[in-house]
Structure 1
Amino acid sequence: MTSDAETAATLDAVFRRDRPAVLATLIRLVGSFDVAEEALQEAMAAALEAWPSHGVPANPAGWLSVTARRRAIDRLRRDRAQADRAANLAVLARFETAEADVGLESETIVDDQLRLIFTCCHPALDMAARVALTLRVVAGLRTGEIARAFLVAEPTLGKRIVRAKRKIAEANIPYVVPPTEELPQRLTAVLSVIYLIFNEGYVASDGDTIGRPDLAGEAIRLARLVCGLLPDEPEAWALLSLLLLTDARRAARTDGAGAFVALEDQDRSRWDRELIAEGFAALDRAVQPGRRGPYLVQAAIAAMQSRPSGKVPWLEIAELYEVLYELQPSPVVALNHCAAVAFAHGPQRALELLRPLLDEPALADYQPLHAVRADLLWRSGDRSGAQAAFRRAIELSDNAVERRELQRRLAAVGAGRPPDRRG
């Protein structure tokens, strides 16, 4: 017997960790986003009823997968009398042969999530819809989390996802990894999705921890798979390098008490040396004459931050952010450039660069903008401005670790303390 609270906690953990894989397989078998999602929701409801009295199964994800498949089969059988009877029977046949197909699939492409990413990133969808749908379905991010990444209103993002699902159904887009010759035209969206999945895993939008290692690890795994599919694509290797070099620092980003630790204060002995070595090897494969993409520039920045000497070359990094902005002009890249300039040239110059960003409507509620501005004002001696900016950043922060760090800095400003290295 388990309590309802324990069951809910276990189910939430399983859902966050295993939902994407379970859902991806369901969608492959069913051929419908909506039917698969409804079946998985019904399986979760069944778990909430069954697990408290029968106990949590040894393989919770497997239990959910089997139950969801059965619910999907029941739904399809009920719908046999409808006009799409032939299609439903074909789906039922796929369910019956699914286990037999596993061996065959293992000889080609076995990763259902990778299939789903390429389905969601079909050229029939516009780029924003491709990325949004994949983040929702494959990564399991909530609509609000994706809306924040896109800097758009949540209802707008929700409608975009609904339209993308409808387009896939109406166009009868197949659930497959496309032939090799078709991969490049989908690559930009696929890499964007993997990058955003990692970002949510590295700095979670909300929660009590700084990140979600499960999501970050999943993004790295998918990046490795894409590199295997396209071994001569430099931006795929550059993205993998960026993710590896960044994730290598994960253990050092908080101290023993769970408090945030800035890059230059981190204990580098806690960095994952194997990931760093793999990251530099991937970077070597990404560097090709005449090829320069945004992920290569970001990987180069991450490599500079990963130097064993511990000295971060902020001047070079600031220059690389200028190059990145030429390749990928966006207010977020401009903000990152401001932060690098602050370390390279001081807060006053960075504040001058940041001033136009304050008029960007998309950044009005963007928490990092206010956090960066608060630090710059603090370092420039504007205590009252810094306090106001820190309060605004705290209001916009749903991540407990980030919020505690911002509150620490706000308290330091109020006490008249000078900015420390953590600030």
Structure 2
Amino acid sequence: MTADRRIEDELRRLAPLALGSLIRRYGHFDACEDAVQEALLAAAVQWPADGVPDNPQGWLTTVASRRLIDQWRSDESRRQREATMAAMSPPDALQAPEPGDWRPDRDDTLTLLFMCCHPALSAPSQVALTLRAVGGLTTAQIARAFMVPEATMAQRISRAKQRIKTTGIPFGMPPEQEREERLRVVLHVLYLIFNEGYTTTSGPDLQQAELTGEAIRLARAVHRLLPEDGEVAGLLALMLLTDARRSARTTPDGALVPLAEQDRGRWNRDQIAEGIALITETLARAPLGQYQLQAAIAAVHAEASTTRDVDWPQVAALYELLERVTPNPMVTLNRAVAVAMVQGPQAGLDLLRPLDADDRLAGHHRLHAVRAHLLEMAGDHAAARSLYRTAARRTASLPEQRYLEAQAARLGDA
């Protein structure tokens, strides 16, 4: 790893710590976030030339604090702002603190995540703000990842900050009675980020490694802060086991390679070992949750040397349990495939039938694609071919579209 890359990684790690320190002391999420971004830019310019400071978190937080105070003092409404600050802060709040005042060992990452994932914000805003404030990604990077104009993403982030301001969302851990549910929201946002990176919903690329990598990094941070939480460990294990397949999921020209056809020798064995150890340990001590069950399913796949060697009865049983824990049409869709591998394609097709009336999935390209696959297994190639083509028309992902069209073409004029 180059020196510049090490500095970039260090700044990304430090960004939420500095932002948390400023918000805890001054409030004003939007102004603090802007100040931290300026401090990150200054560090990116100075540290490669001058070296990383002995106390990098203190340096970053102090520089951001000074930028924040300078901005307030230069504002036309300086007196009103200083009066507001005097009412909410200690008398010395406007003095640039020394690094030691900021307790560089303090980690506000989880508190910041709770703020970015507050229920008052929409799901897209939660995702965008988390990537910006906690992940340290630029607005342009987030916009590229979600295939929207940078101006659109900037407006989304700006509205999220304004929402925090107008609703008075506090910077602090939620009350004890709300904490578990709020943590579920945080984990769901990280899950959404990972899934968008793993299978991008639109555009020319199947996956966005930047997003999956960021989701894993943030999940590691939450696991470090909450090591006893089974669902946190389960989500991290699920991400590791799933991301381990990344290099085998596409051909050199970017074409999709389905799980059954992947070269398992290209899977990341270190990530698989870490993920299996993590889920094995947490299943032995923590109450079952949806992320642990999904990680257990991923572990069964990871432990098999070929698709034929997968313990399909175990996978089907785990999906049935997951469906009880978290009823969801996408879970049913995946369960249908596993059941078909155990009981035959008609049993899987029977499970799919009720999904046609579920508004959450009816018309979704994956429902058509799975039904096509099971019909092909059953020998009805004409119906399978038609549904592969329907699925191809309904996805905005070019790799998925090309794969589905190839599946239809492979069946010929049946």
TM range (shorter): 0.7 to 0.9
Partner of 1:391: 389
Q: Please name the residue that 1:276 is paired with.
A: 272
**Which residue among 312, 318, 321 is the counterpart of 1:320?**
318
1:262 and 2:258 are equivalent in the alignment: yes
Q: Which amino acid aligns with 2:352?
A: L
Give the TM-score taking structure 2 as reference length: 0.72
Superposed, which structure 2 residues align to 1:201-350 within 5 Å? 201-289=197-285, 291-310=287-306, 311-350=309-348
Matches of 1:133 and 1:171, distance apart in 2: 15
Single out whichever of 297-306 and 356-365 deviates more from structure 2.
356-365
- Aligned counterpart for 1:120 among listed residues 113, 116, 120: 116
Per-residue CA deviation, residues 61-115 of structure 1 (Å, 9 max, x unaligned), is xxxxx99x9799658843525855534787xx9898488379733x12164xx44
The CA deviation at 1:182 is 7.4
Change (3 A) 1:341 1:271: same
Q: 2:193 aligns with which of 172, 197, 211?
A: 197
Q: What is the DSSP-based 3-state SS (H/G/I as helix, E as strand, rest coil) of the residue aligned with 1:361?
A: coil
Mapped to 2, the partners of 1:409 and 1:98 lie a distance apart of: 63
Q: How does 1:35-114 map to 2 (within 5 A)?
A: 74=71, 77-78=74-75, 80=77, 84-87=81-84, 97=96, 100=99, 104-105=103-104, 107-109=105-107, 111=109, 114=110
Q: Distance in 1 between matches of 2:311 and 2:272?
A: 18
Query: 1:281 & 1:361 partners in 2: Cα distance?
Result: 38
For residues 252 and 145 of structure 2, the distance between their equivalents in structure 1, rounded to whole angstroms, comes to 31
* Counterpart Cα distance in 1 of 2:316 and 2:166: 46
Q: CA deviation at 1:356?
A: 1.3
Q: Which residue of 2 aligns with 1:15?
A: none
Distance 1:246 1:110, change over 3 A: same
Please give the secondary structure, in 2, of the residue aligned with 1:138: helix
Q: Does the Cα contact within 8 Å between 1:294 and 1:324 map onto a contact in 2?
A: yes
The 5 A counterparts of 1:402-421 are: 402-416=400-414
Are 1:246 and 1:302, in contact at CA under 8 Å, matched by a contact in 2? Answer: yes
Paired residue for 2:367, among 362, 366, 369? 369
Distance change in 2, residues 1:378/1:172 (3 Å): same
Partner of 1:353: 351
Relative to structure 1, the CA distance from residue 316 to residue 272 in structure 2 (aligned partners, 3 Å threshold; closer, same or farther) is same
Taking the aligned partners of 1:164 and 1:353, their CA distance within structure 2 comes to 40
How far the C-alpha of 1:321 sits from its partner, in A, is 0.8
- 1:207 to 1:257, Cα distance in 2 relative to 1, 3 A: same
Q: Deviations over 1:262-321 (max 9, x none)?
A: 223221221111111111121122113572111111111011001143211222211211
1:361-399 CA distances to partner (integer Å, 9 max, x unpaired)?
222342222221222233333344333322332222222
* Counterpart residue identity of residue 127, structure 2: L
One-letter amino acid of the structure 2 residue matched with residue 408 of structure 1? A
Cα distance in structure 2, aligned partners of 1:370 and 1:135: 28
Q: What's the offset of the Cα at 1:259?
A: 2.1
Q: Deviations over 1:331-381 (max 9, x none)?
A: 121112122223222222211111111122222342222221222233333
| CA shift for structure 1 position 176 | 4.7
Gaps of 5+ in 1: 1-17, 43-56, 59-65, 147-158, 417-423
Name the amino acid aligned to 1:139.
Answer: L
Aligned equivalents of 1:103, 1:24: Cα separation in 2: 10
How far 1:323 moved relative to its partner? 0.5
Contact 1:237/1:283 (<8 A) preserved: yes
Aligned residue identity for 1:243 = M
Q: Percent identity?
A: 40
Query: What is the root-mean-square deviation in Å for CA atoms of aligned residues?
Result: 4.7
* CA–CA distance in structure 2, aligned partners of residues 368 and 163 of structure 1: 33
Contact residue 237 and residue 285 of structure 1 kept, 8 A: no
Aligned to 1:13: none
- Distance in 2 separating the partners of 1:317 and 1:268: 18
CA contact (8 A) 1:23 1:36 kept: no
Partner of 1:149: none
Match of residue 136 from structure 1: 128
Q: Which runs of 5+ in 2 are unaligned?
A: 1-10, 39-47, 50-62, 133-141, 148-154
Partner of 2:53: none
Distance in 2, matches of 1:27 and 1:351, equals: 50
Please give the secondary structure, in 1, of the residue aligned with 2:103: helix
Instruction: Tell me the TM-score normalised to structure 1 length.
Output: 0.71
Once residues 168 and 297 of structure 1 are traced to their aligned partners in structure 2, the CA distance between those partners, rounded to angstroms, is 34
User: Structure 1 pair 372/144, CA: closer, same or farther in 2 (3 Å)?
Assistant: farther
CA distance in 1, matches of 2:362, 2:157: 24
What is the CA-CA distance between 1:400 and the residue it aligns to? 2.2
SS of the equivalent of 1:296 reads helix
Q: Size of the alignment, in residue pairs?
A: 373
Measure, in 2, the Cα distance between the counterparts of 1:250 and 1:192: 21
Taking a change above 3 Å as real, the CA distance of residues 117 and 330 of structure 1, as seen in their structure-2 partners, is same
Deviations 1:124-183 (A, max 9, x none): x36xx465432121136669969xxxxxxxxxxxx9999975653244333356699975
